[in-house]
Amino acid sequence: MAVATNISGRWQAPGLPADLTSFVGRRREIADVRHLLSRSRLVTLTGVGGVGKTRLAYRVTAEIRRTFPDGVWLIELAELEDPSLLADTIAGALGVQEHSSRPSMDALVDHLRERTALIVLDNCEHLLRECAALVGTLLRGAPGVRVLTTSREVLGIAGEQTLAVPPLSLPSCGVGRPSDASFARYDAVRLFAERAEAVLPDFAITGDNRAAVEAICRRLDGIPLAIELAAVRLRVLSVQQLLDRLDDRFRLLDNGSQAVLPRHRTLRALIDWSHSLCTRQERLLWARASVFSGGLDLDAAEAVCAGEGIAREDVLDLVAAMVNKSILVREEHPHGIRYRLLETMRQYGRERLAESGEEAETQRRHRDFYRGLCDEVRTGLFGPVEVDLLTRLKLENANLRTALDYCFATPAEAACGVRMAADLLYHWLTGHLREGRRRLDQGLAADREPSPGRARGLVVGSWLAVAQGEIDAAVAMLDESHRIGEELDDDRVRADVVLHRGLIALDGDEVDAAVELCGEAVARHRRTGDPAGLALALMWLNAGLTLRGDLSGALAAGEEGIALCEAHGEGLHRAYLMTMVGVTFWRQGDTGRASALARESLDFSRSLGNPRGIGINLALLAWIAAADGDHERAARLLGVLRTFAQAPGARRAIGAPVSGYRHLLRFQGACEAGVHRVLGASGAEVAIKWGAALSADEAVAYALRDELPDEVGHGRRASLTRRETEVARLIAQGLSNKQIAAKLVISQRTVEGHVEHVLGKLGFGSRTQIAVWTREQDGGSAV
């Protein structure tokens, strides 16, 4: 999976990846990158592997993120091996919901067309052509977007500005001996000293070791990764011993091929040396762990890396040793500890794995482990471990891709791939819809043997097709699944086919047909004993009966579904059922019970990070507010939904058609019309913009508690100085920094400082939030 971080967006990720180690130097490079980004919309950082391109990009984006009101988005591409998934990966990272079959690139451009944002693409070198094409299209279609990339090669497209990231600074040769204080200020020396102190707290550069430290940094050409790998050896070597071994190693390398750049030879040599210092078992673990994409946990390491040469009970000690040697990176996640090979180390390990003759067997063990995870998901989905399993799938997305790639590249394994893809249904539905559809299509085309696995894959594929609005394709898949069910005399397949035909009828607004089919599905799933299928059938039956006006019948179906979920300790289906029953109570006029259900469901969806669940509950709470006569609150929630829909200026807050919920769009339209009728066009827009300016936490807090915390409202005004208040009011009038500077007769740099202070004091991330807040403080006036 390509790891994505939204630095200032509304609905994902809390911020930049935390620095595990201090950032050293690069003041000039940071200034250069900031300058290039100020005058070019595409900047590429180039340099040898290990020179620090990624860390430099992280640091720059952290410093300039407030410049981009619609967010700074970091997408790490090192683990993305399939070029065809590039646009899907970036669209998913930005929260662009995959609701149709149109190309992801089109959806991405539409999403960003009116936004001011910075996209950071890290490690583009293995996808150079695809990144160049995507970035070119993006820059042409979204004029407010800038792109910062890191790559070992330039993208080579018009307008690209490049910065070759140099090694860290070293004392110049033959220019005299700098003082001790000056010597310690050279970036390469500082980095070595700080990393040495991390392993030896008493380490210090002294007159005795200074020459050796300088020689080590010089031998390593100031490459940060090489220096860090060397410094960790001070656990067992003195500085002089470290230098002696480098001398021996690099004299040998200097006799090698002169076609390879010296820095490449140096870094490769250091990794070779790290490899040579590992035990045979550690080398085996390194090679076998390289088959993982996006990291691994201890269970995965034991399952995949154990085998000939490594006993399962030895894996823990080997992993600990590899962490101590800085070959594996330890990462803490809410659900446990994971380990990751830096990409340079991973590629080295893959080479060793290929040389060993074990590559195919290790890939098969990797696939088998993730096939087991998919089996666990299928059996545990409707129960108390469901949330943990869905959260784990997000962490393992890259490994799941790798496992499916193995299946679909091996004809005899295609049927296994179809079963795995079908087991991942809810993973696909919560953020990877397009990829899930494509994976199933890929597997179903490769394995056409009628089987229960194929029948289930067709049913899951039909659901994904409905979610994309491709009803004809969904009908064709259900027809084939029905034929297989009849041929195999499989009642589970028959029940699933009827259920999903009911979904198609519901999405098509064929209410009577939907009620009949979902009612039949309820009966069939009772007989087969499938609680998850029964819960879905009851939920969609509730929706159909609500639309038909049979509210008592709808409540009976929905409340039975909730009770079923509670009996199994299940959360996801229960949350959706509470939402749908909330709609029924709202239609019945019982807004109190409707609100209680929507808020409980919203709270669950927030904890799971489920944007679909968050969105539908925010919509329902807006309808409830309008029904209660609180049209201002309704408009504010519509504003939240406008942002949530990821479509600037969109009027359909639920977004594009969503499987199982498209029938609710009529209610959304009625709510918006009512808000504009009661508040008037200008009043509605003020309230909508207020909601659109909220952060994710503020928006959900407002939806759950009716009112924002005090610090979000009037209590903030007192913290602004007179000049900051003037600047805020001018921002509310729509003036740029340059225009504000001219009006107040101050420099533009001073204005930028005031804007930064206002953003920081108010806890906002954009000028839009300042403008909306200021108008509220001034009673709706921008003056």
- Which two structure tokens, joined as six digits, stand for 337? 């500890």
- C-alpha–C-alpha distance, residues 454 and 241, integer Å: 62
Q: What is the pLDDT of residue 4?
A: 44
Q: What is the pLDDT of residue 249?
A: 54
- Residue pLDDT, tens place only, 163-200: 988 888 888 665 556 666 667 778 899 899 988 988 88
- Residue pLDDT, tens place only, 496-510: 999 999 999 998 889
Whether the pLDDT of residue 287 is over 90: the answer is yes
| Backbone phi and psi for residue 552, each to the nearest 5 degrees, phi listed first | -65, -40
Q: Which of 91, 122, 117, 139 is nearest to 7 (CA)?
A: 117
Whether the pLDDT of residue 16 is over 70: the answer is no
Q: What is the pLDDT of residue 367?
A: 97
Confidence band of 15 (pLDDT split at 50, 70, 90): very low
Q: Which of 397, 455, 376, 473 is nearest to 101 (CA)?
A: 473
- Which two structure tokens, joined as six digits, stand for 39? 């005058």
- C-alpha–C-alpha distance, residues 659 and 663, integer Å: 9
Residue 704's contacts (CB-CB under 8 Å, 6 or more residues apart) are 599, 602, 603
Stretch 526-531: mean pLDDT: 94
Question: pLDDT: is 743 or 415 the higher one?
Answer: 415
Q: What is the pLDDT of residue 7?
A: 36
The string of DSSP codes covering 547-592 is HHT-HHHHHHHHHHHHHHHHHTT--HHHHHHHHHHHHHHHHHT-HH
State the number of CA atoms in the 13 A half-sphere of 592 facing the CB.
Answer: 0
Q: Which of 453, 472, 392 is nearest to 426 (CA)?
A: 392
Taking every pair of Cα atoms in the chain, the longest distance, rounded to a whole number of angstroms, is 91
* Cα-based distances in Å from 751 to 142, 205, 300: 27, 44, 53
The string of DSSP codes covering 306-367 is -BTTB-GGGHHHHHHHHHHTTSEEEEEETTEEEEEE-HHHHHHHHHHHHHHT-HHHHHHHHH
- Which two structure tokens, joined as six digits, stand for 31? 């200034």
Q: What is the pLDDT of residue 303?
A: 97
Whether the pLDDT of residue 625 is over 60: the answer is yes
Q: What is the pLDDT of residue 708?
A: 56
Whether the pLDDT of residue 9 is over 60: the answer is no
> At residue 749, what is the residue type?
R
Element housing 546 (H / E) = helix 531-548
Neighbours of 488 (CB within 10 A): 15
Stretch 153-162: mean pLDDT: 91
Stretch 577-584: mean pLDDT: 96
Average pLDDT, the chain: 85
* Cα-based distances in Å from 398 to 121, 192, 384: 17, 33, 25
- C-alpha–C-alpha distance, residues 223 and 168, integer Å: 6
Length of the chain: 783
Q: What is the pLDDT of residue 487?
A: 96
Query: Which of 374-383, 520-529, 548-557 has the least mean pLDDT?
Result: 374-383
The string of DSSP codes covering 94-145 is TT----SSS-HHHHHHHHHTT--EEEEEE--GGGHHHHHHHHHHHHHH-TTE
- Residue pLDDT, tens place only, 531-542: 999 999 999 999
The 3 state secondary structure assigned to 592-640 is: HHHHHHHHHHHHHHHHHCCHHHHHHHHHHHHHHHHHCCCHHHHHHHHHH
Q: Which of 17, 127, 24 is nearest to 80 (CA)?
A: 127
* Cα-based distances in Å from 322 to 198, 417, 496, 651: 17, 32, 48, 53
Question: pLDDT: is 650 or 237 the higher one?
Answer: 237
- Which two structure tokens, joined as six digits, stand for 176? 């005299």
Whether the pLDDT of residue 262 is over 80: the answer is no
Task: Indicate the angle between helix axes 128-141 and 86-93, nearest 10 degrees.
Answer: 50
Q: What is the pLDDT of residue 783?
A: 36
Stretch 206-230: mean pLDDT: 86
Neighbours of 106 (CB within 10 A): 14
Q: What angle do CA 188, 192, 194 make, to 5 degrees?
A: 115
Q: What is the pLDDT of residue 709?
A: 46
Whether the pLDDT of residue 374 is over 90: the answer is yes
Confidence band of 641 (pLDDT split at 50, 70, 90): confident
Confidence band of 17 (pLDDT split at 50, 70, 90): low
Q: Which of 574, 642, 637, 569 is nearest to 610 (CA)?
A: 574
Whether the pLDDT of residue 477 is over 90: the answer is yes
Question: pLDDT: is 705 or 709 the higher one?
Answer: 705
The string of DSSP codes covering 375-434 is HHHHHHSSSTTHHHHHHHHHHTHHHHHHHHHHHHHSGGGHHHHHHHHHHTHHHHHTT-HH
What percent of the chain is predicted at pLDDT more than 70?
87
- Residue pLDDT, tens place only, 310-363: 999 999 999 998 887 778 888 888 778 999 887 778 888 999 999 999 999 999
β-strand pairing of 3-6 with 72-76: antiparallel
Whether the pLDDT of residue 673 is over 80: the answer is yes
- Residue pLDDT, tens place only, 423-438: 999 999 877 888 999 9
Residue 541's contacts (CB-CB under 8 Å, 6 or more residues apart) are 502, 515, 518, 519, 521, 522, 554, 557
- C-alpha–C-alpha distance, residues 372 and 23, integer Å: 40
- Which two structure tokens, joined as six digits, stand for 513? 């047909």
Rg (CA), the chain: 29
β-strand pairing of 117-122 with 72-76: parallel
